Amino acid sequence: MSQLTRDEVAHLADLARIDLDDAELDHLAPQLNVILEAVASISGVAGDDVPPTSHPIPLTNVFRDDVVVPGLTAEQALSGAPEAEDQRFRVPRILGDEQ
């Protein structure tokens, strides 16, 4: 199992939308490698004939009747919002400089 480089850890952090600084990368990258090395031990344990389990108790999809039920009011839904305006969540600009 190849080791994750510091650049690869930075890429993972980027995918996970976490802005890690240099000190955090230095701290976390070796720890991630130790964890990955340990979990890699399951490689080859189950053969191709073993079906995957996504869910411990077998279930079928669940539907409910198409009837109106009470939900949160706009005020309740916005009660934890960092910023709100006109009954909507106010967010920072969503387009980058290049768009």
Interface with another protein (CB under 8 A), residue from 23, 59, 67, 68: 59
- Residues binding another protein: number (CB under 8 A): 55
The enclosing H or E element of 35 equals helix 22-39
Q: Residue 75: which H helix or E strand, with range?
A: helix 74-77
* Residue position matching structure tokens 């990368």: 25
Binding to another protein (CB under 8 A) within 7-26 occurs at 9, 12-21, 24
Q: Measured from the CB of residue 72, what is the shortest distance to another protein in angstroms?
A: 6
Taking a C-beta distance cutoff of 8 angstroms, is the pair 37, 1 a contact? yes
CB of 38 to another protein, least distance (A): 6
